[in-house]
Amino acid sequence: MEPLKQAKNFRGPEGPVVLAILDGVGIGTCKEGDIVSRANTPTLDWLSQNALASKLKAHGTAVGMPSDADMGNSEIGHNAIGCGRVFAQGAKLVNESIASRTLFNGEVWKELIQNVVGHDSKLHFIGLFSDGNVHSHINHLEALLKEAKNEGVKKACVHILLDGRDVSPTSALEYVNRLENFLSELKKDSDIDFAIASGGGRMKITMDRYGANWGMVERGWKTHVKGEGRQFVSAHEAIQTLRAENPGVIDQDLPPFVIGRDNQPLGPIDENDSVIFFNFRGDRAIEISMAFEEEEFNKFHRGPKLNVKFAGMMQYDGDALIPKKYLVNPPGIDRTVAEYLVKAGVKQLAISETQKFGHVTYFFNGNRSGKFDDALEDYIEIPSDVVPFEQRPWMKAAEITDRVVGAIEGGEYKFIRLNYANGDMVGHTGIPQAVEIAVETVDLCLGRLVKAVKAARGILIVSADHGNSDDMYECNMKTGEIIYDEKTGEPKSRTAHSLNPVFVYVYEPTGKVNLRLAEHTDLGISSLAATCLRLLGFEPPEDYTPSIIDVG
């Protein structure tokens, strides 16, 4: 790759350029549900008046999703911010691979199907069960099931991870009913045995990330693989019963369950079975993939490695090769901001707590594990607390800020990127009071960054990867009116990401740098990459999304 060119009219600030990503903090369009505007945010309010201010798209085609009806997420958001361009992302890649039949003509699909047909064994599908299009899509699952039948598979087991996070909080039965109807149609005039075999909430089993809570993965292993746990005759019965026993619980927090016949689990994973983890997003798919694939495994008592054929929808970690087999090739992302800066000799720091650590490192670097240069990059992970986010909405924002302020004052780094996870992780709980505290916590910490950047004569960029806490109530898409729960009379909570734009503030405290907003309009968050490079004194690559600012 060609090295960056120094800008002729600006060599960068005296202090560092600091990129603060306020995860899940967007610009709300529905006043009642916009907790960001409700919260006390003196720092954001001050920046809106004293910094260059604009807004950016953070969803849909602006971040590589199939359509503008698709919400953004932290994975593709950090991809876009870190690589400066828009790549076709997971959902779109899978859609195209299914439509073109590239997936079904691929060697991995054929190997898994031939294994099942040859051994008269079971084909298993594990994944997030909704149409949220953030980690997975039920359309993909149905397409795989239909093709499996066409290719001679007789027994398939679906292990459902209930969402309630990227879709409505208590919508699980809608998807169960849809799949049950789909399977009934599929089984007409056929002797196939396709059924739901186990399940549980996505925040209870299987879908941990960044090694934050391996106990979740262990519970998922016992549920899906061993068929251990409380049995029900159907997923419908399981969900209704568990909801009645846990008043107020939302889908993501429902306990695990096993579907049984004659007191025997319907679909444990046995030798010579094939298993597909049908999530396309990587962060919450890596750990369960490791449990299936690693010869020596010590994260929990798994037992000997199963002799099964395992594949992911995509490869979730390209450097660590997890998993080894996958159905759809991920986007090839190269020439990221971090790589360019390493080539230019710029010392960098990336920091967040565990929940978003992989986002400011792995995803920011184009789905690449590890550093480009150990001497020029430092990564700091602040361990997240293993408690419900609504019980500790401040999370680790203060600890992150302590380290960043120290780094700014130390003068070692020219580029610092950080992620405050609060607005997103607490936003997913659907509890407005906790979300308000989360947003105010981030704003308080942001105030400390403003002071530190000013003292160091650096430049601060504040933006987000997508919205969430700005849209906490369900509303009528046509009228904008809040939808109320018929039983409680309270607004129906929304736990998914929003389709709202995000703000961007560029604060240069000295007043000696001639910064102005560029004439480009309708930009997305991929423009933050060129913005960072320009503020560091470089000319961005020509194919990067244009910078939001001009200098000089």
The secondary structure of 222-282, three-state, reads HHHHCCCCCEECCHHHHHHHHHHHCCCCCHHHCCCEEEEECCEECCCCCCCCEEEECCCCC
Q: What separation, in Å, do the N-terminal and C-terminal C-alpha atoms of the chain show? A: 27
The closest alpha carbon to 61, from 53, 50, 72, 51, belongs to 72
Q: State CA 138 to chain mean position distance.
A: 17
DSSP state of 491: B
Residues facing residue 86 across a β-bridge: none
Rounded Cα distance between 2 and 7, Å, is 15
Rounded Cα distance between 360 and 415, Å, is 13
Rounded Cα distance between 437 and 197, Å, is 39
| Residue with token string 């999370």 | 395
| Active-site residue, from 48, 54, 74, 498 | 74
Residue length of the chain = 552
The closest alpha carbon to 22, from 44, 37, 5, 46, belongs to 44
The closest alpha carbon to 89, from 334, 365, 329, belongs to 329
275's torsion region: left (phi>0), alpha (psi -120 to 50) or beta? beta
Residues facing residue 125 across a β-bridge: 158, 276
Both tokens assigned to 192: 């196939």
Both tokens assigned to 134: 């953030």
Full DSSP string of 30-57: SGGG-HHHHS--HHHHHHHHHSEEEEEB
Concerning whether 74 is annotated as a catalytic residue, the answer is yes
Rounded Cα distance between 84 and 304, Å, is 44
121, 115 contact by CB (below 8 A): yes
What number of helices (H) and strands (E) belong to the chain? 17, 20
Give the β-pairing of 52-56 and 502-507.
antiparallel
Q: State CA 105 to chain mean position distance.
A: 29
User: Is the peptide bond between 323 and the residue preceding it cis, with omega within 30 degrees of 0?
Assistant: yes
Rounded Cα distance between 250 and 242, Å, is 10
Both tokens assigned to 14: 């005296």
The secondary structure of 58-79, three-state, reads CCHHHHCCCCCCCCCCHHHHHH
Q: What positions carry a catalytic annotation?
A: 74
